[in-house]
Amino acid sequence: MQLGRPQALLASLFVLVLATLSFTAQAQSPLSAYTQQQTEFLPVDEAYQLSVIGDGEQQALLQWLIAPDYYLYRHAFDAKARTVDGDVELTFAVPDGLAKTDEFFGDVEVYYGAVDASLELADTAELIELSITYQGCADAGLCYPPETKTLLWHTASGEVQKGKLDSSSLRTSNLDTESSEDFGLIAALVFALLGGMILNIMPCVFPILSLKALSFTRGDAQSHRRSSLVYAAGVVVSFVGIAAVLIAIQQTGKLIGWGFQLQNTGFVIALAYLFTLMGLSLNGLLHFGTSMMNVGQSLTEKDGDAGSFFTGVLAVVVASPCTAPFMGSALGYALTQPIYITLLVFASLGLGMALPMVILSYSNAAVKILPKPGPWMETAKNVLAFPLYLTSVWLLWVAGNQSGVNTMALALAGLVLLAMAAYVYGESTVKKAVSALLLIAAVALAIPQGDSNQRGSGSRSLADGQIAWSASTLDSYRDAGKPIFVDVTADWCITCLANEAAVLFTPEIEGAFLAADIPYMIADWTDYDADIGEFVKSHGRSGIPLYVMYPSGEGSQPVILPQLLTRDIVLSAIENAQ
List CB contacts of 441: < 8 A, sequence separation 6 or more: 414, 417
403: number of Cβ within 10 Å: 25
Residues 333-381 have pLDDT tens digits of 666 677 888 888 889 988 988 888 888 888 777 666 666 666 766 777 7
Nearest to 15 by CA among 565, 529, 439: 439
Cα 242–Cα 402–Cα 274 angle in degrees, nearest 5: 50
In this structure, are residues 526 and 401 in contact, taking their beta carbons and an 8 Å threshold? yes
List CB contacts of 158: < 8 A, sequence separation 6 or more: 53, 54, 55, 56
- What region does 450 belong to: left with phi over 0, alpha with psi -120 to 50, or beta? left
Whether the predicted pLDDT of 318 surpasses 80? no
Mean pLDDT calculated for residue range 448-464: 60
> Rounded to an integer, what is the distance from CA 349 to the centroid of its chain?
11
Mean pLDDT calculated for residue range 416-439: 84
In this structure, are residues 549 and 573 in contact, taking their beta carbons and an 8 Å threshold? yes
- What pTM value is reported for the model? 0.53
**Pairing label, strands 78-83, 86-88:** antiparallel
In this structure, are residues 117 and 94 in contact, taking their beta carbons and an 8 Å threshold? yes
Q: Please state, in angstroms and rounded to a whole number, the distance separating the CA atoms of residues 340 and 108.
A: 34
Q: How many Cα atoms occupy the beta-carbon half-sphere of 535 within 13 Å?
A: 27
Residues 475-495 have pLDDT tens digits of 899 888 899 999 998 888 877
Whether the predicted pLDDT of 110 surpasses 70? yes
In this structure, are residues 445 and 410 in contact, taking their beta carbons and an 8 Å threshold? yes
pLDDT of residue 125: 79
Residue 275: pLDDT band with limits 50, 70, 90 = confident
479: number of Cβ within 10 Å: 9
Residues 517-566 have pLDDT tens digits of 999 999 988 877 778 877 876 775 656 788 999 998 877 788 888 777 88
In this structure, are residues 14 and 295 in contact, taking their beta carbons and an 8 Å threshold? no
Q: Please state, in angstroms and rounded to a whole number, the distance separating the CA atoms of residues 109 and 469.
A: 30
Q: Which of 54-63, 171-180, 252-261, 436-445 has the lowest mean pLDDT?
A: 171-180
Whether the predicted pLDDT of 295 surpasses 60? no
Domains, in order of start, for the chain: 5-30+184-452 (no CATH), 44-176 (2.60.40.1250), 466-577 (3.40.30.10)
**Pairing label, strands 70-73, 136-138:** antiparallel
CA distances from 18 to 34, 160, 265, 369, 409 (A): 22, 60, 11, 38, 19
Mean pLDDT calculated for residue range 572-577: 89
List CB contacts of 429: < 8 A, sequence separation 6 or more: none
pLDDT of residue 206: 67
Please name the helix (run of DSSP H) or strand (run of DSSP E) that holds residue 130, with its range, or none: strand 127-134
Q: Per this entry, what is the length of the chain?
A: 578
Exposure string over 334-371, b if 16+ CB within 10 A, otherwise e: bbbbeeebbbbbbbbbbbbbbbbbbebbeeeeeeeeee
pLDDT of residue 267: 81
Residue 214: pLDDT band with limits 50, 70, 90 = low
In this structure, are residues 7 and 442 in contact, taking their beta carbons and an 8 Å threshold? no
Residue 123 identity: D
Nearest to 577 by CA among 518, 528, 532: 518
Residues 196-208 have pLDDT tens digits of 888 777 666 666 6
Whether the predicted pLDDT of 28 surpasses 70? no
> Rounded to an integer, what is the distance from CA 468 to the centroid of its chain?
26
pLDDT of residue 19: 43
Q: How many Cα atoms occupy the beta-carbon half-sphere of 492 within 13 Å?
A: 32
Whether the predicted pLDDT of 15 surpasses 90? no
